[in-house]
């Protein structure tokens, strides 16, 4: 049971490049989310999903795309990287309801855009 796995752990991009942050969970969780964390800003929700094929925008969705073709995977795509997207990105997953509802977080991806 690996929990929530994020890859890569570190990445440096040039402005304008695109890339995909990978997130996978092996807990059969229905809910998955992507957050970014910046100093003084707390955790801000980018996109989230309540099941395969269902996604919705969070607080700061601009510049990011997601898809949820399987229950296990929830990749985050940066379309054209900008320095403002330099941040730590966390993926999280949860059961849909009831006990165990709390989200489990991955260890994060530190992204620098130069």
Partner 1 sequence: QKEVEQDPGPLSVPEGAIVSLNCTYSNSAFQYFMWYRQYSRKGPELLMYTYSSGNKEDGRFTAQVDKSSKYISLFIRDSQPSDSATYLCAGIGRRGSTLGRLYFGRGTQLTVWP
SS3 state at 74: coil
8, 15, 26, 41: which one contacts partner 1 (CB under 8 A)? 41
DSSP three-state, residue 33: strand
Per-position x/- string for 82-111, each x denoting binding to partner 1 as judged by CB under 8 A, each - no binding: --------x-x-x-xx-x-xxxxxxxx---
CA angle centred on 55, ends 57 and 20, rounded to 5° = 85
Decide if 29 contacts 95 (C-beta within 8 A).
Answer: yes
Does 48 bind partner 1 (CB under 8 A)? Our answer is: yes
Which tokens in the block code for residue 89? 């990105």
Quick check: 42 binds partner 1 (CB under 8 A)? yes
Residues that bind partner 1 (CB under 8 A): 30-31, 33, 40-43, 45, 48-50, 56, 58, 90, 92, 94, 96-97, 99, 101-108
């Amino acid at each position: 049971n690996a929990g929530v796995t994020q890859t890569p752990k570190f990445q440096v991009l040039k402005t304008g490049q695109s890339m995909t942050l990978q997130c996978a969970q092996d807990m059969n969780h229905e809910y998955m989310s992507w957050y970014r964390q910046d100093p003084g800003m707390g955790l801000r929700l980018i996109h989230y999903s309540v099941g395969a094929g269902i996604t919705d925008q969070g607080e700061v969705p601009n510049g990011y795309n997601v898809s949820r073709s399987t229950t296990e995977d929830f990749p985050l795509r940066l379309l054209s990287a900008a320095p403002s997207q330099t941040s730590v990105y966390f993926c999280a997953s949860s059961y849909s309801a009831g006990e165990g509802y709390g989200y489990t977080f991955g260890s994060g991806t530190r992204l620098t855009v130069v």
